[in-house]
Amino acid sequence: MSLSPDRANFSTAWAPAKVNLYLHVGTSGPGGLHPVDSLVMFADTRAADRIHARPAPHVSLSVEGPGARQLKHAPNNLALAAAMALRDACDRTGLGAGLTLHKVLPIAGGVGGGSSDAAATLLVLNEMWGVEFGEAALERIAVQLGSDVPACVRQRPLVMRGTGERLIDVAAPDLPAILVNPGIMLETRKVFDRFDRMGVNRTFREMEPPWGEGPQELAAGLREYRNDLEPAALALCPEIGRALKLMQAQPGCLLARMSGSGPTCFALFGSDAEAAAAAAAISEAKQKYWVKATIFRGAPPVPVDD
C-alpha cells in the first residue's frame, strides 16, 4: 500500500493525561461495571505520552521514555491492541505500522495513560493508513478497548456517564494546574474493590456539571462535587493524603483532588506562574514524586442547533 505524502508525514500524536475533575460512582451492575458521572479534561503536551508511527510490513510496538522500564514486561499494551482493533474494523489485514510509544505519564496512575495511548494510536493510524473513519466510528472501536478510551479519542472537555460510553461535550475555560503522583502505582481494580467493601454510593445520581468563565469560578463550583473513589484509594495508599496536603499548602491553590482511581492528584491555580511555582516547590520537597505543571485545555460553549 502506498501512502500519500500528507499521510506519510502524519506520524505523531499526543496522548495527554485524562483528569477527572470530579468522579461520582454508583453501585456496580452487570459484569461488575459501575455507573459513573464525571467531568473530564485533558492536559497539554507537558503532561502527555506520545505515539510515533511509521509505515512497516507488520504492526509492532516499542516503548521508550521515563516509563519504558515499567512497561517492559506488560503482556497487553493498549496501544498495540488499538492498532489491531482499527485494522480489524476496516478489514484490511495487510496494514502495518512500526509504533513507538514515548512513555511519560505514570503507570496505573489514575490519569488514563494507557487509554490515552490507545486513543492516540487510533487517531494517528486512522490518518496514516487512510482509513478515514469519523470520530463516532473511532469511539465505537474505542469502547472495545476500555471505558476511558472513547473519551480520550475526543481529547476535549466532556462529561462521562453510563460506564464511560455516554459522552457529552461541555464548555470549560483553560485551567492552570499541576499533576502530582507520589511515585506509587495503584491498580484500578483494587480501588473499586475497596470502594465496594466500604459501602457503595447509594445516593448516586447524574448532576449538571459546574460552570465558570475562569479558573476561580470553576474551582468554586467543583467544591460541591467530589471523587467517590478517594476514600478507598486513601485507605490503600495513605501517601495520597500527604500529597494532597502538600498541594493544598501551595500559594494560589484553588482546589486539590485525586484524579480517577488515583494515586495521581491535581491542583488548580489562577495563573500559569502560580502553577509553575507550586510544581517547582513540590519537586524540590519530594524528589521521588512525579510532578508536572500543565494546563487543562478548555473549550468554548457547545453550539446549540436552532
| Maximum distance among all Cα pairs of the chain, rounded to whole angstroms | 57
CATH numeric code, 5-169: 3.30.230.10
Residue 229 has pLDDT above 50, yes or no: yes
Sign of CA dihedral 3, 4, 9, 10: negative
Residue 41 has pLDDT above 50, yes or no: yes
Contact 238, 218 (CB under 8 A): no
Residue 18 catalytic?
Answer: yes
Report, in this order, helix, strand and coil percent for the chain, each rounded to 5: 35, 25, 40
Q: 6 pLDDT band (50/70/90 cuts)?
A: very low
Pairwise CA distance, residues 143 & 163, whole Å: 10
- The residue from 18, 117, 228, 292 that is catalytic is 18
Q: 4 pLDDT band (50/70/90 cuts)?
A: very low
DSSP-derived pairing of the beta strands 97-102 and 59-64: parallel
Residue 268 has pLDDT above 60, yes or no: yes
Instruction: Give residue 73's pLDDT.
Output: 60
Contact 118, 112 (CB under 8 A): no
What residue segments make up the domains of the chain, in order of their start? 5-169, 175-296
- Grid coordinates standing for 115? 487509554
- The residue from 37, 49, 117, 148 that is catalytic is 148
**Confidence (pTM):** 0.92
Residue 103 catalytic?
Answer: no
Are both 5-169 and 175-296 of the same fold? no
DSSP secondary structure string, 108-120? TSSS-HHHHHHHH
User: What topology is assigned to 175-296 in CATH?
Assistant: Alpha-Beta Plaits (3.30.70)
